[in-house]
């Protein structure tokens, strides 16, 4: 089972290749080969994506993440390269702010791979 009530169509963005649509975030690759994660307005509860979206949720999720990354930057390295919107990106109301990232393992992913 996919966990989607109805799987959303990926948003096509000039200069970005769509790689994956997750429950709440979408993953793209830019022309330099960097990964671009986009937080959407979708809601996930108990591993199911609900049909109703929360306006500005993606924007708020991204702002919260960036705040924590900035606060902890001296203690913990992070994956954020830029928060600039690429040329031709949809308005932020449609797709939340962008966070370009290097591909890597999170601690939880590494732990799951080890067991």
pLDDT in tens, the chain (115 residues): 556 666 777 778 888 899 998 888 899 998 888 888 888 898 888 888 888 889 999 999 989 999 999 999 999 988 888 777 666 665 544 444 444 443 444 444 444 444 4
| Residue 46: predicted pLDDT | 85
Q: pTM for this structure?
A: 0.65
Kindly state the tokens that stand for 50: 């609900």
Give me the half-sphere count of Cα atoms (radius 13 Å) on the Cβ side of residue 33: 0
Sheet strands (E) in the chain: 17-21, 25-29, 35-39, 43-45, 48-50, 80-82, 98-101
| Residue 89: predicted pLDDT | 61
| Residue 90: predicted pLDDT | 57
| Residue 106: predicted pLDDT | 41
Domain boundaries, the chain: 17-114
- In DSSP terms, 50 is beta-bridged to 43
Structural domain 17-114, CATH architecture: 2-Layer Sandwich (3.30)
Local structure of 48: helix, strand or coil: strand
Residues whose CB falls within 8 Å of the CB of residue 82, separated by 6 or more in sequence, listed in order: 98, 99, 100
């Amino acid at each position: 089972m996919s966990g989607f009530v109805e799987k959303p169509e990926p948003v096509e963005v000039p200069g970005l290749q769509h790689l994956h649509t997750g429950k709440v975030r979408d993953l793209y690759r830019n022309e330099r080969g960097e990964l671009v994660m986009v937080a959407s307005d979708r809601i996930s509860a108990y591993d199911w994506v609900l049909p109703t979206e929360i306006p500005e949720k993606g924007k708020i999720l991204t702002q919260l993440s960036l705040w924590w990354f900035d606060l902890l930057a001296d203690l913990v390295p992070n994956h954020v390269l830029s928060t600039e919107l690429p040329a031709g990106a949809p308005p932020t109301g449609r797709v939340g702010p962008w966070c370009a990232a290097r591909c890597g393992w999170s601690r939880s992913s590494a732990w799951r791979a080890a067991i």
